[in-house]
Chain A
Amino acid sequence: MTDPADRQPDPRANNQDPVLFGQTPSQTVGPFFHYGLPWKGGADLVGKSDMGARPDLFPEAHYVLNLSSPSGVPEGTVIELTGRVIDGAGDGVPDAMIEIWQANAAGRYRSHDDARDDVPLDPHFVGFGRASTDDEGRYRFRTIMPGRVPGPGNSLQAPHIALSIFGRGLIKRLATRVYFDGAAGNEDDLVLAQVPAARRRTLIARADEAGAWSLDLVLQGAGETVFFDL
């Protein structure tokens, strides 16, 4: 018998079994992510507001996630991006979380995997943000208009923002893109070209009366947003 101090319990099947090794499966964020993920200012990529958080959903003493600390104003045109997340019954989704990832105004990603030294980084811009939807299912970001980045082959992509949707009832995140109505390059964009022509409009934000770029994200049914298999 081994010394009791050296024994391990029967591990059963578990995460450390080499036979099971592979991608950790996705699970829903559930309805209670608001104090764990969307930090204050997470939806404001250019300023110092509290956008993105829902501190109304838990006591202030439990707001342990701090404000982010943007360092200054980034280059480029400041834009607002907004819209509603809508379910298969046409109702707003009040417990969704939206994430965005985008290039800076010059078209460079702040990532080790974008090594194009000839395109400048912006010390005041990261390009990643998070927003909770409000009680009507609306999300809202303040960011800058992204520059164009290279696409397949020697192509140039139209300006776009990569976007993920998480929520209760979403076992896996849904990935899509936001393009901008009338932007240069929309006609030649090789990713948009993969999308059936009749559904491309679900990816194209339009200016609303207030000057914000608006795009609803329809999870299911008529006008369903195109989601990507990455």
Chain B
Amino acid sequence: MSDPVPYAREDAGAPPSLFPDYRSTVIRSPREPLVRIPATLTETTGPTGCWDRLMGPALADLTTQHAGVPLGQRIIVTGRVLDEAGRAVPDTVMEIWQANAAGRYIHERDQWDAPHDPNFTGAGRVVTDADGRYRFVTVRPGAYPWGNHRNAWRPAHIHLSLLGPAFATRLVTQLYFPDDPLIEIDPIANAVPMPCRQRMVARLDMDVTEPNWALGYRFDVVLKGREQTPFEEDHHD
């Protein structure tokens, strides 16, 4: 069989693995250079069409998982999953997790002094439609402190995880909010060079916002695309 068309390498917006301002990268990032390997079926395939069986059913509304309504600002987060050529990535799983409106995670290891919300867990999962569209309803997460340096606070963010069509397109990222001044002093966001850092900032969109119900944010996710197949050699006469 002919070799599969490889996926593109990372572009100028990719952060480094070692970013000393984010302290735990210092002892956890590799020191040897990455080894370039040819793209085979292993890298150009990924699980497709079996999400329910693999992970369980979709959970698109994080505000109705418990008996009551969670506290905080209800928001809609929606957008499309695209490849680098702007084509939709349909039928791919997108998972999210986040802190509650006070900035506290439902997690044993998150022990700072902000309240839990018994009506909010903060985990969701959807599959993109034929146009690559996804939509979640949740509450806006709060900022929270972390131990990276004195007075370190993460900007409000939602963690996003996407598989895309292939092992090569796997992406975990974070969505930030457009009115948050903490982004520009956050070592994790700052590992991504400007202006590409802004690719992680959602837009408040009045067309997504629902009157008397929830503010709407639009956020497209762009995954690696397949490299162009060369049509023919250029002839220089």
Contacts and interface: CB of A to CB of B under 8 A. Distances in A.
Interface residues of A, number: 99
Nearest to B104: A32
B62 to A, nearest CB: 9
Nearest to A56: B108
Interface in A159-214: 160, 162, 164, 166-175, 177, 190-191, 194-196, 199
Contacts of A49: none
A77 interface: no
Contact of A68 (B3, B55, B167): B55
Contact of B47 (A12, A39, A126, A191): A126
A195 B54 contact: no
B106 interface: yes
B38 A219 contact: no
B13 to A, nearest CB: 5
Given A171-B25, A172-B14, A64 B53 contact: no
Could you say which interface size class chain B belongs to? 35 or more
Given A22-B12, A35-B107, A227-B30, A101 B46 contact: yes
Interface in A116-175: 116, 126-128, 149-153, 157, 160, 162, 164, 166-175
Interface string A40-56: 00100000000000001
A62 B42 contact: no
Nearest to A57: B108
B173 A230 contact: no
Contact of B200 (A7, A25, A42): A25
Given A29-B159, A68-B55, 8 more contacts: A15-B219, A15-B220, A21-B222, A25-B196, A28-B188, A69-B53, A162-B42, A172-B15
Interface of B: 1, 3-4, 7-17, 19, 22-32, 34-50, 52-57, 59, 65-66, 79, 84, 86, 95-97, 99, 105-110, 121-123, 125, 159, 161, 163, 165-168, 170-174, 178, 188-189, 191-192, 195-207, 218-224
